[in-house]
Amino acid sequence: MIKKEIIYFGCECILFCDGKCEKAWGLNTRPRVQLSDEDDFEWMSDGELGEAPVEPCSYEGGHAKPVTDDEKLNKWCCRECERSEMIDKSEVEDDTDFEALCRDFSVRRKNIDA
C-alpha cells in the first residue's frame, strides 16, 4: 500500500493505492467486458489478465505510469490509474484503514456502482 499527501485543485488530499503497479493498466486501457451499453462495463479482474504493460501509452500532465519507486504517485497515478483512490485529508482519521479503501481487482469491477 502506498499513500502520499497532495494538493488537488487547491484541496489537501491523500492519494493512495495498493501498490501493484505491475497490474495497473490505466482507466482507459484496462481490458473490459461490455455490458448493456457503451457506458456500462466491467473491468476484468487481475486473475483474468497478465501483467499490465510497463508503458500503457497514456500520460497525464506529462507523467507516464511510474517505473521506479521514486516516481510513484505522480499525476498519472492520480488521474489515470484505476487502482488509485483519493480522499480529502479532512476526512482522514488516525486509524483510517487505507488498505480497506483500495479497489479490489481480485474480481471484476463495474465502472458504474449499482
| Burial track 38-69 (b if 16+ CB lie within 10 A, e otherwise) | eeebebbebeeeeebeeebebebeeebbbeee
Total structural domains within the chain:
1
pLDDT at 36: 86
pLDDT at 56: 87
What pTM did the predictor assign? 0.89
C-alpha cell at 57: 501509452
Residue ranges of the chain with pLDDT lower than 70?
Answer: 113-114
pLDDT at 38: 79
Residue 56, domain extent = 2-110
- DSSP calls for the chain: -EEEEEEETTEEEEEEE---GGG---TTTS-EEE-SSTT-EEEPPGGGS-PPPS--S--BTTB----SGGG-S-HHHHHT-TT-EEEEGGG--TT--HHHHS---SS-EESS--
pLDDT at 114: 54
pLDDT at 112: 77
Dist. CA 98–CA 33, nearest whole Å:
28
